[in-house]
Chain A
Amino acid sequence: MTLESILMTLPYITVVVLFSLGLFTVLFKKNLIKIIMGIALMQNGANLFLVSLAYRRGDYAPIFTSAESTDMVMPTAHALTLTSIVIGVATTALLLSFVIMIKKHYGSINTDDVRRCKE
């Protein structure tokens, strides 16, 4: 295994680490804010995954240059990532505003105290 192939797999390892850290936080933490932080970690993992997929060695970035169009990478994954970032902002904002409402009504943001629906 050369240094280069290790470097090429590094983004994917980071993706796995970020995604599983986020999932762990969502599943096992009791603090609502921490759960939302876990979701943000997963979002970043998914975005990094898409960007790493879009990388083609030796190709040019899809911006206006004199390079041949066949030498440019497909910008689809980048577009998808940008969309996902924007959506991520919206969902995180909505989730945080829910937490503010929960704190108002329940006086706590611990998941053990926030279970009136089951009654």
Chain B
Amino acid sequence: MSFDIMLHTPTFALAVPLLFAFLTILLSKFSKKVGDVTFLLGLLLTGYFVFLMSYRIFTDGGWVYTFGAEEPITLNFFRITFIADGFAALATITIAITAIAAGIYSFGYLQKKMPSDKFYTLFLLTLGGVNGMVLTGDLFNLFVWFEVTSVASCALIAYENHRGRSVEAALKYMVLSVVGGLIVLFSIGLLYGQYGVLNYALLSGNISRIFLDKLALGLLLVIFAMKASSVPMHMWAPDAYGEAPGPATPFIAITSLGSLFVLFRLLFGVFGVGMDTAAVGAVLVILGVLSMFVGVTMALVQDDLKRLIAYLSVSQVGYMTMAVGVGLATLNTVEYQNFGELAMKGGFFHMINDGVYKALLFLSAVTVVHKTDLRSLNDLGGLAHKMPYTTVFFLVGAVSIAGIPPMSGFSSKLLIYRSVYLYNPILAVIALVVSIITFAIMGKVFFNAFLGPDQGLTDGEVSKLMLSGMAILTAMVIVFTLFPGLVVSELVTPAIEALSEGVIP
């Protein structure tokens, strides 16, 4: 039996960050440089294996990776399985891009302020946890990775523990996550008690519309929507994003995007056949509209730069929830062919877009805060004179999040407007209005912080490493802007096909 590395890539996407998480802290004892290199190596290797996995998925189709067995899973064997399909590829690619950019950025950031070795460990642990969450094929594993991600990301938020506020934000998020995790465990118990299986594929054949299944569905939906920072369970997000240490901020946002991926996987893969898709889709649409609207309204009144972007990120999560909700509501009907599929395409294209430009916005905001030690928009001004690169990076992110043509944010939002209009015209109108308000907010921030006379707040650009972290994300945004059709046909369409067909048995 030969060792086929391509077959085992899902394991490596998880094992590499976990291994390097503890290697970095060990090797950092020798010198800081060795630790830095190990961290970068871990990130790049993870990205490499994610790339290999996606390559195999796109050329040969998806597969179920079963740990410790070659035969496919049967009812009597409780094997740990990973599902590597188009959906997992889209999710892991989004996570990997942001993780690598944020990781490179953190080299420059951590130099003077705080010890870096433990930061790297927590960062890689979170990366491993999120990868496990989106790849896993059974509920048992889902719970474990959910908790790994919670613990590691909360410790990451509280990393600057000389400030009380970051510990407060971490405590808030941690209490919510732990209670959420217990409720996830409770609903796993509900499903296991009835069907005696935990595997997604086996469960999806059993799910019916009885009360206990609906209860489990409702609990899982609420908890994963909470982790994805969807209104009305969004109150932790501005605190956590606002108080997390700079380079970790986009990564915490990606963690919650990962939870959204898991929510969609559960809804389509596990509950898809057995539930009332129209009703659950409508619930997602309502959550999405609420998130869009409340997020952008709260962003209007913020003057703290990081909190403002955090609220905008809540409102962006609404777009995806709404679009995928429309797709779910029309699943298996004629309307799915007409516009449901298009809505899903828009939603998922927006997810990968949003992951990238949100990270870019967070990193450029962090750069401003790092350089000036000011967070309030009232105190900032004239930064463009001394920080031309950061200004350009922020502008690219701002134009993209506002959905201005021809940026990538516009392509995905256009797909959403067109398809959602056919489901209910009011939704498209709300989405447009929210987009316009987002544009106004970004305009305000840009003029306030970057334009105007030089106030001498900064003495120049940040280090080259930090700039190159942001440059990677800018390059990705430009790639998505130039080739939206390619991204939709090569990345997003396989994900939607994998999702709407349910999980591979």
Contact = CB atoms under 8 A, between A and B. Distances in A.
State whether these chains interact: yes
B7 interface: no
A99 B151 contact: no
A83 interface: yes
Interface in A1-36: 19, 23, 26, 32, 35
B483 interface: no
B175 interface: yes
B357 to A, nearest CB: 25
A90 B151 contact: yes
A101 B161 contact: yes
A80 B190 CA distance: 13
Contacts of A37: none
B192 A77 contact: yes
Nearest to A49: B189
B192 A117 contact: no
A94 B154 contact: yes
Interface in A48-77: 49-50, 53, 74, 76-77
A110 interface: no
A91 B147 contact: yes
Contact of A98 (B167, B188, B239, B243): B167
A39 B175 contact: yes
A94 B175 contact: no
Contacts of B151: 87, 90-91, 94
A114 B168 contact: yes
Contacts of A95: 171, 174-175, 178
A85 to B, nearest CB: 11
Contact of B167 (A19, A80, A90, A105): A105
Interface size bracket, B side: 35 or more
A117 B78 CA distance: 45
Interface stretch (B179-187, B260-268, B443-451): B179-187
A26 B161 CA distance: 24
A98 B174 contact: yes
Contacts of B147: 87, 90-91
Contacts of A45: 182
A87 B239 CA distance: 25
B164 interface: yes
Contacts of A74: 78, 196
Contacts of A87: 144, 147, 151, 181
A105 B175 CA distance: 19
Given A26-B179, A98-B158, A99-B171, A117 B140 contact: no
Interface string B135-169: 00000100110010011001100100101110111
A102 B175 contact: no
B168 A117 contact: yes
B436 to A, nearest CB: 28
A94 B169 CA distance: 14
B453 interface: no
A105 B168 CA distance: 10
* 5 nearest CB pairs, A to B: A105-B164, A53-B193, A101-B167, A98-B171, A117-B239
Given A80-B192, A94-B154, A98-B158, 17 more contacts: A39-B178, A43-B182, A50-B192, A80-B143, A83-B140, A83-B144, A84-B143, A90-B151, A91-B178, A95-B171, A95-B178, A99-B171, A101-B164, A102-B168, A106-B168, A115-B168, A116-B168
Interface of A: 19, 23, 26, 32, 35, 39, 42-43, 45-46, 49-50, 53, 74, 76-77, 79-80, 83-84, 87, 90-91, 94-95, 98-99, 101-102, 104-106, 114-117
